[in-house]
Structure 1
């Protein structure tokens, strides 16, 4: 590693912040000098070769000073971005030292803990104490390694071609911690109103200086969330790489032998997160940023509207098209088994199918349609017995629906302060239809213009009047064969039994209008699959879904609705285009 414990334990975020202030003051003096030279140039009236030479020299000095000012601004940017990272390290160091003190341990300059306990069970106690302190030190070193590498990368870019600092823009300013907290606690509507009042330069500044705050802020424009989340993606990927390095070292550290199982679990999760970040990077690398697109750059606009690593796994939402200006926006929410690293590329492909279908069926220019693959919640795992409790419970759908409702409310609020109201369609598939139905009970009226549920185990409510979507704009689709998910979490007809508490099967709700169920045009459609209707087996043999002992269960056609060549995707496209 490039840093040592003896160095890290002396790090000071306040000292770093103070140094940033010193650099900023020096920059201000350089700017004053540049301005003074510019005034002299403007007021200089001399003529002749000597005067021209002097004028040229002053111009050269002004350019050099202006460049230096920009470089110093970039240094300030890098230092300011490092401060919260160093704060994390400081906190982790204090925790490690407190744990060491409690365990009667000291930590050498090389980061090796030594226990000084001498009681009757000294050897057993010392081994456990050393392992616990060593784990704390490993955590410190992972955070420190990331903070160090992130700052080095930022400083290495200072003064390089194409490098710019948002701090050099006119009218930009930092936010106090109080202002940052106020921003975080705003409703999507309040945030959209606040954001609309900022200058473009200040919006860029906020994206670049507070990417974690802006990237997932409902109510902020899509281009800005994308700009911030591209920074977040780079930083999260780097932090995860450093965490993986540290965990591998910890697993091989004899002092941490007791923590090997736990560290292996952490390593597995970190490696899965890194895979997700690589998939996201690859996916958005297939197009151009939304900001570049809006400024005239030619290419396919792809934007990263959500990037979160809390909960069970990495979560993301990727849009195609211009969500800030498109007249029609379709948001697709997938279900069981969905992960970013395993599913995102497929869902980007499927939502592109939906986008093209909407343009074709609505006779629209493609630029007038945008689609979002929203993998912004922890979906249940694959249909296996160990995931039974998640799949049959509404818990994950409820948590996901809160996030989804905020996302949709925020998009609506942002549009109200921008290009104006868009026709927004929410398409929920599988367990994602339950999440979508629940979200539709939580959004404001008028946010979701059309709701499409397909392959649905239940619509998230047992009363369609809870949905903030007008009757006549609620749609459902379910292929007749090979999709046994349909209705398996709903109320059975003629019965009061509720299995899974996932809501009514929308296929049998009279307020839903049926769309095409025909996906036979998909090349991999299984024409020989058994009937999808699950009513006859749900109550009698629900567990069979996961044990595989029920011969009638089949999921071959569960995920075909948005595949190319299907009538289902064309019909969904008509809804997204507003012509159904």
Structure 2
């Protein structure tokens, strides 16, 4: 089959129809179950009524579970097709930009005349070959994704027909069977379909029984994840404090440099939890609710994401991605999640003004990846590449929650410094329609060689660049590693780079973080994109 013709719209509509129908049938089944429970006695008439009700209930239970399963399978198809479409669209856009040809077998080529034209216009052979290779990689990825998706859906449909498919909901109107967690590797769309099929009582049971899983499970709504993560927060605090105390007890009077470094890391984990608590506590003073969207202490450093306002029902969602020397814990110069909550407040308030009356803006501080702590680590894109996968998964999760909840939201990724490279790479990994707008500012590199590599609508990629002499981080990464400088690339819309006056004492990076300063034109322009009304 020609995968260029694959569309997710019908599957998406079918999944929604299944979810709506199962809810109606479930209500009917629950009502019949209550009637069955109310029948008392063992007379012939009562027994006949019980038998008739039981027969109806069994039929409803079977149909409800079939609809739940069908919605889950269709939702996997939606996410898979969206990812395939994103790669196809990228390949086609690259082919159009570079005048390449993609034949019916998926082979990408460029004729000699076009190569000569590009060479004459200043493009190197290496650059031309890289463009062809990138387009070919996108095509190959789409073909492999299509093969894998078709195989997975075929297996699940066969299991559904055979009655062996486990939807992890296990609906019963008479016998209370609790749901089970989806298996590892379940897509965000499948999780969202599963979660939306649970009763409110079952959701609360899952949150109380598995807060550590639910709090970080992409596809679960953020009201529920916030509740789960707040259950886990004091537990994680005790764990990291105990971990640090135990290690400190093993140290002698003259610890080695490695031991001191490990002690610092463990203390930073404690400080990270404190910074999360302090950030959440700000809602008591400014009356803006905070949502702990993720909390992960499994790695060397604590990772988290916090939103101002609820992403479940916001019209606009802005995701701030920080860069070098930032972490949940922060350091002596700032860079913590608490500091970025201040940046998010400035950006959110400005975005709300841009969006207009009645429009709700949720602003997310994404600290869900390990940013490089110093220039040494930031000199390579390795941490950006790892972080890109985490960010892409997070963004796919937001999209899935909204598709199975309040409906589509306008999602903007606003990424600073090294975080802009991370975000650029993530924008090549998300599904179609996940990121509506991408803004990169103070960027060492876009993460790509051509805007056609982004899974972002054409014309929806923006850059803000302060005066170079005061932000020499811009474009500093080698193009081959970090991607090209977005301020110099075709396809970007240029926002203001006015970040305010420079300090009296000159530093070549003294305005690098000024994009977050309140009232500057650059800040207002970035916020205008988040608010859905770009000032360009």
Fold equivalence (TM over 0.5): yes
In 1, are the aligned partners of 2:451 and 2:490 still within 8 Å (CA)?
A: no
Does residue 378 of the first structure (1) align with residue 370 of the second (2)?
Answer: yes
**Equivalent of residue 517 in structure 2, options 549, 555, 563:** 563
**Equivalent of residue 447 in structure 2, options 460, 472, 479:** 460
Give the whole-Å Cα distance in 2 for the aligned partners of 1:261 and 1:579: 52
Q: 1:554 aligns to what?
A: 508
Query: 1:260 Cα shift?
Result: 7.0
| Per-residue CA distance 1:143-189 (angstroms, 9 max, x = gap) | xxxxxxxxxxxxxxxxxxxxxxxxxxx997655xxx43x34321111
Give the whole-Å Cα distance in 2 for the aligned partners of 1:303 and 1:285: 11
Q: 1:483 and 1:234, CA in 2 relative to 1: closer, same or farther beyond 3 A? A: same
Q: 1:573 aligns to what?
A: 527
Give the whole-Å Cα distance in 2 for the aligned partners of 1:330 and 1:468: 17
Structure 2 unaligned regions, length at least 5? 1-37, 41-173, 331-335
SS in 1 for 2:440: strand
In 2, are the aligned partners of 1:311 and 1:378 still within 8 Å (CA)?
A: no
Query: 1:418 Cα shift?
Result: 0.6
Give the whole-Å Cα distance in 2 for the aligned partners of 1:429 and 1:560: 10
Q: 1:526 aligns to what?
A: 502
Pairs within 5 Å for 1:106-185: 179-180=180-181, 182-185=182-185
Does residue 511 of the first structure (1) align with residue 491 of the second (2)?
Answer: yes
Q: 1:225 aligns to what?
A: 225
Q: 1:404 and 1:188, CA in 2 relative to 1: closer, same or farther beyond 3 A? A: same
SS in 2 for 1:472: coil
Q: 2:346 aligns to what?
A: 353
Query: 1:463 Cα shift?
Result: 2.1
Give the whole-Å Cα distance in 1 for the aligned partners of 2:191 and 2:436: 22
Higher relative contact order (CA 8 A, sep 6+): 2
Give the whole-Å Cα distance in 1 for the aligned partners of 2:509 and 2:395: 30
Does residue 309 of the first structure (1) align with residue 297 of the second (2)?
Answer: yes
Q: TM-score, normalised by structure 1?
A: 0.58
In 2, are the aligned partners of 1:358 and 1:364 still within 8 Å (CA)?
A: no
Give the whole-Å Cα distance in 1 for the aligned partners of 2:510 and 2:215: 37
Give the whole-Å Cα distance in 2 for the aligned partners of 1:408 and 1:455: 22
Pairs within 5 Å for 1:422-437: 422-437=409-424
Query: 1:435 Cα shift?
Result: 0.4
Q: 1:341 aligns to what?
A: 329
Give the whole-Å Cα distance in 2 for the aligned partners of 1:514 and 1:221: 34
Does residue 273 of the first structure (1) align with residue 269 of the second (2)?
Answer: yes
Q: 2:199 aligns to what?
A: 199
| Per-residue CA distance 1:19-46 (angstroms, 9 max, x = gap) | xxxxxxxxxxxxxxxxxxxx9xx9xxxx
Q: 1:185 and 1:567, CA in 2 relative to 1: closer, same or farther beyond 3 A? A: same
Q: 2:67 aligns to what?
A: none
In 2, are the aligned partners of 1:462 and 1:503 still within 8 Å (CA)?
A: yes
Give the whole-Å Cα distance in 1 for the aligned partners of 2:175 and 2:459: 49
Q: 1:99 aligns to what?
A: none
Query: 1:351 Cα shift?
Result: 1.0
Give the whole-Å Cα distance in 2 for the aligned partners of 1:566 and 1:415: 32
**Equivalent of residue 395 in structure 1, options 375, 379, 382:** 382
SS in 1 for 2:420: helix
Give the whole-Å Cα distance in 2 for the aligned partners of 1:270 and 1:171: 47
Work out the number of aligned pairs and report it.
358
Give the whole-Å Cα distance in 2 for the aligned partners of 1:579 and 1:300: 23
Query: 1:230 Cα shift?
Result: 1.1
Query: 1:369 Cα shift?
Result: 0.6
SS in 2 for 1:329: strand
SS in 1 for 2:425: helix
Q: 2:319 aligns to what?
A: 331
Query: 1:569 Cα shift?
Result: 1.5
Give the whole-Å Cα distance in 2 for the aligned partners of 1:310 and 1:566: 39
SS in 1 for 2:515: coil
SS in 2 for 1:184: coil
Q: TM-score, normalised by structure 2?
A: 0.63
Q: 1:229 and 1:568, CA in 2 relative to 1: closer, same or farther beyond 3 A? A: same
In 2, are the aligned partners of 1:471 and 1:512 still within 8 Å (CA)?
A: no
SS in 2 for 1:194: helix
Give the whole-Å Cα distance in 1 for the aligned partners of 2:504 and 2:177: 64
Give the whole-Å Cα distance in 1 for the aligned partners of 2:342 and 2:357: 20
Q: 1:333 and 1:210, CA in 2 relative to 1: closer, same or farther beyond 3 A? A: same
Deviating beyond 3 angstroms after TM superposition, the runs of 4 or more aligned structure 1 residues are 170-175, 259-266, 527-530
Give the whole-Å Cα distance in 2 for the aligned partners of 1:220 and 1:516: 37
Q: 2:431 aligns to what?
A: 444
In 2, are the aligned partners of 1:458 and 1:486 still within 8 Å (CA)?
A: yes
Query: 1:233 Cα shift?
Result: 1.5
Q: 1:3 aligns to what?
A: none
SS in 2 for 1:561: helix
Q: 1:529 and 1:458, CA in 2 relative to 1: closer, same or farther beyond 3 A? A: farther
Structure 1 unaligned regions, length at least 5? 1-38, 43-169, 289-297, 492-497, 531-552
In 1, are the aligned partners of 2:354 and 2:532 still within 8 Å (CA)?
A: no
Greater gyration radius: 1
Pairs within 5 Å for 1:38-49: none
Give the whole-Å Cα distance in 2 for the aligned partners of 1:394 and 1:173: 48
Pairs within 5 Å for 1:463-474: 463-474=450-461
Q: 1:557 and 1:262, CA in 2 relative to 1: closer, same or farther beyond 3 A? A: closer
In 1, are the aligned partners of 2:178 and 2:202 still within 8 Å (CA)?
A: no
Q: 1:417 and 1:171, CA in 2 relative to 1: closer, same or farther beyond 3 A? A: farther
Does residue 502 of the first structure (1) align with residue 450 of the second (2)?
Answer: no
